[in-house]
Chains A and B, each alone.
Chain A
Amino acid sequence: MDTPLSPHKKRKVSKFLAHEMLYDYLMNRLDPERKTAVELELKDDEENQKTLSNMKKALGYVERINRVEIDQELLAEMNESSSYISSMLKKTQFEKWPSSVKWSIEALVVLLGVIVFLVVVPWDQALKMTLFPKDKEVILAEINRDPSVGKNINLAQVEKTEVPQFQDDEKKAEPGAAPKAEPVAVALIEKDKKIQTPAKKEIIPEVAEDSEKASSDDPEKKALSTGFLYRGQLDVTNVEMNSPKITEKIIELGGRKAGEVDIGWKKSDTTYYYHFTFPEAKYEELVEFLSEYATTELTKEKHPRIMPDGIIRLIITVDEKKQ
């Protein structure tokens, strides 16, 4: 075929181009010139002839197998939405609702979700876990009120205690001192073993009972739940010399410091302060000893702090006797 673009006045397509145009040739989409050119090429090319034959066979095969029918019920099932929500939206024609209503419903759903979340999450536990790590947890030690517990306390155990067991009344009264927690009935113990010292452990049996327990209706228990404190004041001549002797004797008889200061703490030049626990059995001996220095009058006062059986607590002030 003559063509102005061809130097030989004929358009001839290559084998490759003919191969690529076979589909369009088969579908009869080529223009007449190209169609003729492909046909010319096909005459001499067995490979392309075979490919074209294969394509025709494939088209025929597709026509044969394209007779699959689908059950109407199956189509109807597919037409139904696969998810419940989209199915519901379709049934209710949600898309056609006014946008203000749609937005309100969506906001309501979100709000409900937030409320459910707030209600369901155990916030107490979550806050405890985040704000108060378990190893820093502080627990209240509860002491058995059974009198037999007190009897079993070994005094030697108490001797090991280096930490003050009670607040000094005198010190507490000092101006500017930070207010201390009422030590009635409870003791705070660091649960952390690293922090907890053996001395602290030994304090536990000496801790007084809970004030709530003290309010028990049982009169017998009520009596048990009230503690006592022995308080007194001595005027001693040459107190500076005699005070160490008194201290030594108290310790010898089994007295142990009860407050923050040592037994026989020099409060001022003429005043010595004794705050200590003491075996009740040796009380008379102590009084007798102190009587050698001055007239000893110790008053037994009620005090909320309860001592273990056999142990008493004393606060004695020794002053220089005025001439």
Chain B
Amino acid sequence: MRSGAPSLELLRGLAAQQGVEPSDEDLEAAAGFLRVLLAQLRDLEALIPPEVEP
């Protein structure tokens, strides 16, 4: 997922593992949503001191 949006095949597999069967249209919409958020979260990781626990 580091290159941006996850592939639809990957998302379809993740959904299947959890018993969910989205359409291609659903997967594309979710992938678009994740593209922005995953980039933000990667940047966030660098801002948390390593000693901070959940």
Binding between chains A and B = no
